Amino acid sequence: MSETYSNLARSDSPVATAASLHVEVIADFVCPFCFIGKRRFDEALKAVRGPFEVNWYPFQLNPEIPAEGLPFDVYLTRRFGNPANVDPVLQHLTAEGKAVGIDFRFDKLRHVPNTVAAHQLMYLAESLGADQSSLAEDLMSAFFEQGRNIGDRDELIKIAKARRISADELNDAVEAERIKQLVLTRERQVRGSGIAGVPGFLVNRRLLVVGAQTVETIVNAFDQAMFGEGTDSLNSPALH
C-alpha cells in the first residue's frame, strides 16, 4: 500500500539530519473534512525532502448506509435533522474548501454511496503499486466537485482507468469477497484502535493527528514524530 517518499526538513528548520517519515492516512471519500484534510496534508508534504511513505486505510463515515446508498436529501435529513441546520454547515464547508482549492458542489449531489467498493479499489491500487493518494483525490473530486456516484461500478471503472487500472481488474477486486472482507477487517482494526473520526494521520506510528488540521499543525507533527523528544501527543479534536 505504499508509495515511497520521505525525510522532512522545513525550509526554515535548522535540522539537516535525514530521518524517515511514514504516514498512514485514515479517511473516507464522502467525508468533506477528509477532502479538506487531504489537501492540507498534501501541502504539508511539500516541506518533505527525500523519500517518505504514505499508506491509506479504510474508514466508512456511514457504515450503516445501505449497499445501494441513499438519496442526498434523505441522508442530510438523517444526519442533521431539521433542514434549517444544513445550510450553515454546507456554507462553512464551501468556504473551507475554497481556501484549499476545492470547489464543493453540493448542488450537484444527488446520491450518497456506500463506499466499500471504493475502498476495495484503493486496496487494488495498493496491490498494483498505483498511486493511492492520487486515486483518493480522484474519488473525492468526482464525488464532491462533480457530483458523481462513486458507488456506481461504471463510475469506479472510469476513475480507475485514469490511473491505468483496467475494468477487468476493478471488477475482479470489487467482486472478490476476500478483498471485501480484508477491507472490512482493516476498518475494524482502525476502529478497534480507538479512532472514531476522520481524517486521521498516524505519523511514524507515534503521533496521531485527528481532523482537518492546519498545514502548520501537520508539519509540526512531522517534526515531532521524526525529530522530537519527550512525550508524543494527540492533536485533536476532529473538526466534525
What CATH number corresponds to the domain at position 209?
3.40.30.10
Q: What is the share, in percent, of the chain residues with pLDDT greater than 70?
A: 87
Cβ burial of 234 (10 Å; 0-12, 13-18, 19+) is: exposed
160 in a structural domain: yes
- Residues 121-164 have pLDDT tens digits of 999 999 999 999 999 999 999 999 999 999 999 999 999 999 99
Measured between alpha carbons, how far is 133 from 27 in angstroms, rounded to an integer? 11
pLDDT for the residue 240 = 29
Domain around 137 = 3-227
Is pTM beyond 0.85 here?
A: yes
- The residue among 200 and 228 whose pLDDT is bigger is 200
Q: How many domains does the chain have?
A: 1
Contact 157, 170 (CB under 8 A): yes
Contact 33, 210 (CB under 8 A): no
209 in a structural domain: yes
Q: Is 50 left (phi over 0), alpha (psi -120 to 50) or beta?
A: left
Predicted confidence (pLDDT) at residue 239 exceeds the cutoff of 90: no
233 in a structural domain: no
Side-chain half-sphere exposure of 195, counting CA atoms within 13 A? 28
Q: What is the DSSP letter of 203?
A: E
Mean pLDDT of 179-203: 95
Mean pLDDT of 81-103: 93
pLDDT for the residue 17 = 40
pLDDT for the residue 36 = 98
Helices then strands, counting H and E runs in the chain, come out as 9, 7
17 in a structural domain: yes
71 in a structural domain: yes
Band of pLDDT at residue 50, cut at 50, 70 and 90:
low
Q: State which H helix or E strand residue 75 sits in.
A: helix 72-80
Band of pLDDT at residue 119, cut at 50, 70 and 90:
very high
20 in a structural domain: yes
pLDDT for the residue 52 = 86
236 in a structural domain: no
Provide the mean pLDDT of the chain: 87
232 in a structural domain: no
Band of pLDDT at residue 236, cut at 50, 70 and 90:
very low
Cβ burial of 184 (10 Å; 0-12, 13-18, 19+) is: middle
